[in-house]
Chains A and B, each alone.
Chain A
Amino acid sequence: MGFAHFWFSGFDQIRSGFWAYVAVGLENGSLYAMIAVGYTLVYGVLGLINFAHGEVFMCGGFAAVLITHAILGSGVEDGWASVGLVLIGIVFAGCISALVATGVERVAYRPLRRRHAPKLAYLISAIGASYFLQTLAGKEFGYGQNVFPAEVFPAGQTLFSIGNTPIHTIQVVCLVVGVSMFLSADRIVRSTRLGRSIRAVSQDAETSALMGVNIDRTITLTFIIGGTLAGAAGFLYSIQNGIIQSSGTELGIYAFTAAVLGGIGNLRGAALGGLLIGLFGSFSVPFAFEGNISWTEIYTFLILVLVLIIRPTGILGEKSGRTA
């Protein structure tokens, strides 16, 4: 197959299945956006990349499997019961993830913060936390796939169609939950007292401490918001894909790419980046050589590398302070 032919056939596939690619892209994209919020908030407040955030998401996924297992056993859930399940699941998974996130902050970051440790130390300590959580999850839940016990919104279930492309219920649920959770996070950060302290600390931690902002509490709050969103994403992800201990690292890197693309430190940038990376991943599938899906991963990481090298501040980032 010629090279040009390969690209043309890729575009052909996109043209004929456009809405299906958009639906898959938005579905994944809203998950990435929800995780990316955690990266970007923590970067804003602490100026560091929370390498263990992917594992926070993973813990949410396992929490979701557990709670569903506890209240439902297994079976197929549909209709209003499934809406209830989604609400309970999101709350539970969000709480567990928020707990894990604050735990990580408490154990891996706070002692270093008190010592004014160099950036390198945070990163290493975060890698440690990520290894620890990942292996612990593997030990407790096994290294194979943990399928979601109940079938919620069965994969084939169609809500409506655009043209002749069926749009699955789960895709709509992901997008709706993603958008509403993001909007509430955005609201909290922009227009509440707590949010104001987060923004103050991001701009200048020392000055805001002098102004009476409790820095420790603000940082904990930041981790809680990021953790809750990641937990909800974990629930939505595990509904369709089940969860394994390494899912966190995998999606974590995608979400991180999203945060960087949107402009790390910028909340709306994270949402924009998430959706863009989701769409990009979906649209790059037809361009995978020999049909090997690993190529979409390669394309996404290329975006990460290129953005960092060419414009580390991302699309919506304004400051260029920290990198150059």
Chain B
Amino acid sequence: MNLLTRPSLKRLFATLLLAAVVAVMTGAPGGFGVPADTGVHGSFLEHVSYFGLFRTQRWAIFLTLGILAWLIVSFYQPRALSIRKRVAPVTAFPSRLMERRSHRLILIAVVVVLTLFIPHLEHQQFWMYLIVEQIGVWILLAQGLNVVVGFAGLLDLGFAAFYAIGAYSTAWLTGVLPTPAPFHHPIPTLWCIPIGVGLAMIFGIILGIPTLRLRGDYLAIVTLGFALIIDDFVGTQSGLTGGGEGSLTVPKFDLNLGFWHYRWGISPTPYFYLCMLFVVIFIIVFTSLEYSRIGRSWVAIREDEVAAESIGINPLKYKVMAFAVGAASGGFGGVLTAGLIGNINPTLFQYQVSVNVLILVIFGGMGSIWGVAIGAIIVQTATSYLDNYQPWGYQLNDLYMYIGALLIIMMIFRPAGILPSRRRLREIRGFEVEHEGHLDEVLSGDQP
């Protein structure tokens, strides 16, 4: 074992670079003009002067840690293979657990029961609210996008549009937009659920027919383009959509059965049950779709469109179908959000919303319904926690830096997600297992 070989030194350099990046990432925020005295601040340019780069001790700490990490890696390098072999069963454990049907059923039962008890376990209204708004709704969104990206293999960067359509149609139907409600007769918010979902699906079809002839990254860009157009359009049309401010007075849900009248108030708990009901419905529908004729056609198109077409599958029809089905749960998420937070505005359309949903799908495992659900829970809980409590070196505003890093790392080390779909897993086992990226490839670059 020689520390001074070329690959080893390369690794040292890369580790130090990584340590520097982490130091900057966890450092203090900076900016021009914000601090009292003029000059440039921030962990990258600490202490005003450009040459203060290595002056503070934070840097020394991170460099030391970098060297330590390098030494450890170097000493264990010869044994890396055996370590990886020992780690592999652990990382594969969750997906192995889900392979047996009985295990799956037990797990589902436990999850459902636990879910019913969440409102009794969590007493902070604020966290209940986050569980609905940040986790429940986002599970739905992720499930919808999973149909589009995971099942049918269509990268849609404008998915937020369906979410926003759901929310805006709620505002429209309840008569709180400048555009009058249909027939000038506002309807109760609860009835917006079927209509909003329907409108989102119709919009999915309208958007899908012209765009879905394209493939791959071209499709991604077109959907992005449409999303930007809609975002701008909604923002400018004050007379139709309320412009940038949207509407601030969407009414709450209200169930009137004559003998029993229930109002959803400002407490998030009733929304939680409503949301969970639909999460269960959508998961059941999507699971049965996955193994139906339609689901198999999606897989065929995803894997090889030309081959699929040659055996009589109409790709455009099934792709549009995937868009519409995905739009349904996105639309429902929108209706629920509008009712829960009581207002809508064009930020719901933002490109970032689409990418955030995509992250949940990728993190959980494209095409895997349970993986996506679990991915959504993990990522959304983590981001909610980070944003509200700012632990360690985390500052407000930093979220997307970590999300960006997470995306790259996932693509390199675990492209199939934390809980890959079983169908995908079989494919990956077949082809890709030797090609899974590992740290060395990233660090030392050029080696074969």
Chains A and B directly touch (beta carbon < 8 Å): yes
User: Which residue of A106, A121, A301 is within 8 Å of B445 (Cβ)?
Assistant: A106
Cβ–Cβ contact A301 & B229, under 8 A: yes
Known A127-B355, A131-B407, A142-B30; contact A309-B445, beta-carbon cutoff 8 A: no
Cβ–Cβ contact B226 & A294, under 8 A: no
Binary flags per residue of A97-137, CB closer than 8 Å to B gives 1, else 0: 00000000011101110111101110111011111111110
Smallest beta-carbon distance B10→chain A, Å: 12
Is the C-beta of B362 less than 8 angstroms from some C-beta in chain A? yes
Least CB separation from B448: chain A residue = A114
With the chains together, A129 CA to B409 CA distance in Å?
A: 10
Smallest beta-carbon distance A227→chain B, Å: 18
With the chains together, A138 CA to B210 CA distance in Å?
A: 37
User: Which residue of B31, B218, B235, B358 is within 8 Å of A308 (Cβ)?
Assistant: B218
Is the C-beta of A140 less than 8 angstroms from some C-beta in chain B? yes
Binary flags per residue of A289-304, CB closer than 8 Å to B gives 1, else 0: 1101011011001101
Known A124-B358, A305-B226; contact A132-B408, beta-carbon cutoff 8 A: yes
Is the C-beta of B309 less than 8 angstroms from some C-beta in chain A? no
User: Which residue of B25, B218, B220, B224 is within 8 Å of A312 (Cβ)?
Assistant: B218
Is the C-beta of B34 less than 8 angstroms from some C-beta in chain A? yes
- Across the interface, which residues of B come within 8 angstroms of A324, CB to CB? 213
- Across the interface, which residues of B come within 8 angstroms of A135, CB to CB? 397-401, 404
- Across the interface, which residues of B come within 8 angstroms of A304, CB to CB? 221-222, 225
Is the C-beta of A275 less than 8 angstroms from some C-beta in chain B? no
Cβ–Cβ contact B33 & A131, under 8 A: no
Cβ–Cβ contact A117 & B411, under 8 A: yes
In A180-221, which residues have CB < 8 Å from any B CB? 216
Interface of A is mostly: helix
Least CB separation from A297: chain B residue = B232
With the chains together, A112 CA to B407 CA distance in Å?
A: 13
- Across the interface, which residues of A come within 8 angstroms of B400, CB to CB? 131-132, 134-135
Is the C-beta of A253 less than 8 angstroms from some C-beta in chain B? yes
User: Which residue of A115, A120, A128, A297 is within 8 Å of B155 (Cβ)?
Assistant: A120
Is the C-beta of B441 less than 8 angstroms from some C-beta in chain A? yes
With the chains together, A300 CA to B211 CA distance in Å?
A: 17
- Across the interface, which residues of B come within 8 angstroms of A139, CB to CB? 25, 29-30, 42, 395, 397-398, 401
User: Which residue of B33, B42, B218, B236 is within 8 Å of A144 (Cβ)?
Assistant: B33
User: Which residue of B25, B229, B408, B437 is within 8 Å of A298 (Cβ)?
Assistant: B229
Is the C-beta of B120 less than 8 angstroms from some C-beta in chain A? no
- Across the interface, which residues of A come within 8 angstroms of B398, CB to CB? 135, 139
With the chains together, A314 CA to B436 CA distance in Å?
A: 37
Is the C-beta of B245 less than 8 angstroms from some C-beta in chain A? no
Binary flags per residue of B204-230, CB closer than 8 Å to A gives 1, else 0: 000000110111111011101110110
Is the C-beta of B7 less than 8 angstroms from some C-beta in chain A? no
- Across the interface, which residues of B come within 8 angstroms of A121, CB to CB? 411, 415
With the chains together, A205 CA to B416 CA distance in Å?
A: 27
Is the C-beta of A91 less than 8 angstroms from some C-beta in chain B? no
Cβ–Cβ contact A142 & B32, under 8 A: yes
Is the C-beta of A56 less than 8 angstroms from some C-beta in chain B? no
- Across the interface, which residues of A come within 8 angstroms of B229, CB to CB? 298, 301-302, 305
Is the C-beta of B37 less than 8 angstroms from some C-beta in chain A? no
Cβ–Cβ contact A289 & B406, under 8 A: no
Total A-B Cβ pairs within 8 A:
174
Known A131-B400, A135-B401, A136-B24; contact A142-B228, beta-carbon cutoff 8 A: no
- Across the interface, which residues of B come within 8 angstroms of A322, CB to CB? 216, 218
Binary flags per residue of B378-420, CB closer than 8 Å to A gives 1, else 0: 0000000000000000010111110111111011100100000
Chain B: number of interface residues, binned into ranges? 35 or more
Is the C-beta of A16 less than 8 angstroms from some C-beta in chain B? no
Smallest beta-carbon distance A124→chain B, Å: 6
With the chains together, A292 CA to B446 CA distance in Å?
A: 51
Smallest beta-carbon distance A218→chain B, Å: 14
- Across the interface, which residues of A come within 8 angstroms of B33, CB to CB? 142, 144
With the chains together, A166 CA to B217 CA distance in Å?
A: 43
- Across the interface, which residues of A come within 8 angstroms of B100, CB to CB? none
Least CB separation from B18: chain A residue = A107
Cβ–Cβ contact A142 & B34, under 8 A: yes
Smallest beta-carbon distance A183→chain B, Å: 28
In B123-140, which residues have CB < 8 Å from any A CB? none
Least CB separation from B226: chain A residue = A305
Is the C-beta of A256 less than 8 angstroms from some C-beta in chain B? yes
Is the C-beta of B45 less than 8 angstroms from some C-beta in chain A? yes
Binary flags per residue of A43-72, CB closer than 8 Å to B gives 1, else 0: 000001100000000000000011001100
User: Which residue of A65, A112, A140, A146 is within 8 Å of B29 (Cβ)?
Assistant: A140
User: Which residue of A49, A132, A253 is within 8 Å of B404 (Cβ)?
Assistant: A132
Most buried by A among B42, B235, B404, B432: B404
Cβ–Cβ contact A140 & B24, under 8 A: yes
Cβ–Cβ contact A136 & B401, under 8 A: yes
Is the C-beta of B435 less than 8 angstroms from some C-beta in chain A? yes
Cβ–Cβ contact A132 & B217, under 8 A: no
Smallest beta-carbon distance B34→chain A, Å: 5
User: Which residue of B40, B213, B408 is within 8 Å of A309 (Cβ)?
Assistant: B213
Cβ–Cβ contact A216 & B407, under 8 A: no
- Across the interface, which residues of A come within 8 angstroms of B42, CB to CB? 139-141
Known A69-B40, A309-B213, A309-B222; contact A128-B411, beta-carbon cutoff 8 A: yes
Most buried by B among A49, A128, A143: A128
A-B contacts, 20 of them at CB < 8 A, read: A49-B217, A66-B40, A70-B50, A120-B155, A121-B411, A121-B415, A128-B405, A135-B397, A135-B399, A135-B404, A136-B24, A138-B397, A139-B25, A139-B42, A143-B397, A216-B446, A256-B221, A298-B236, A302-B229, A305-B229
Q: A129-B408, A130-B404, A135-B397 are in contact. List 10 more A-B contacts (CB 8 A).
A: A115-B435, A119-B217, A125-B411, A128-B406, A135-B400, A139-B395, A292-B236, A297-B228, A305-B225, A312-B214
Closest 9 CB pairs of A and B: A142-B31, A128-B407, A131-B404, A132-B404, A135-B401, A125-B411, A128-B408, A135-B400, A305-B225
